[in-house]
Chain A
Amino acid sequence: AQSVTQLGSHVSVSEGALVLLRCNYSSSVPPYLFWYVQYPNQGLQLLLKYTTGATLVKGINGFEAEFKKSETSFHLTKPSAHMSDAAEYFCAVSDPGGSNYKLTFGKGTLLTVNP
Chain B
Amino acid sequence: KAGVTQTPRYLIKTRGQQVTLSCSPISGHRSVSWYQQTPGQGLQFLFEYFSETQRNKGNFPGRFSGRQFSNSRSEMNVSTLELGDSALYLCASSSTGTGTEQYFGPGTRLTVT
How many residues of B sit at the interface, in one of the four size bands? 20 to 34
Bitwise, A88-110 to B at CB < 8 A (1) or not (0) is 00101000100111111111100
Give Cα A34–Cα B103 distance, bound, in whole angstroms.
Answer: 12
Q: Which of B95-112 contact A (CB under 8 A)?
A: 98-107
Residue of A44, A49, A101 near B48 (CB, 8 A) is A101
A interface residues, tally (CB under 8 Å): 25
**B106 CB contacts on chain A under 8 angstroms:** 41-43
What would 8 more interface pairs be, CB under 8 Å, given A96-B98, A102-B48? A32-B98, A43-B104, A46-B102, A51-B98, A96-B99, A102-B33, A108-B42, A108-B43
The answer on a CB contact under 8 Å between A43 and B105 is yes
- Shortest distance between the CB of A62 and any CB in chain B (Å): 19
B74 at interface, CB cutoff 8 A: no
Pick the contact of A44 from B42, B44, B100, B104 — CB < 8 Å?
Answer: B104
Chain A positions within 8 Å of B, measured between CB atoms, are: 32, 34, 36, 41-46, 49, 51-52, 90, 92, 96, 99-108
Which of A43, A52, A107 gathers most chain B CB within 10 Å? A43
Pick 25 A–B contacts, CB within 8 A, sort by A: A34-B101, A42-B107, A43-B4, A43-B104, A43-B107, A44-B92, A44-B104, A46-B101, A46-B102, A49-B99, A51-B98, A51-B99, A52-B99, A99-B48, A101-B56, A102-B33, A102-B45, A102-B48, A103-B33, A103-B35, A103-B45, A103-B102, A104-B45, A106-B42, A108-B42
Q: Which 8 A-B pairs have the closest CB atoms?
A: A51-B99, A43-B104, A105-B43, A44-B104, A43-B106, A101-B48, A107-B42, A102-B56
Interface of B is mostly: strand
B: residues with CB less than 8 A from A are: 4, 31, 33, 35, 42-45, 48, 50, 55-56, 58, 90, 92, 94, 98-107
A88 CB, nearest partner CB in chain B, Å? 10
Chain B residue nearest to A42 (CB atoms) is B106
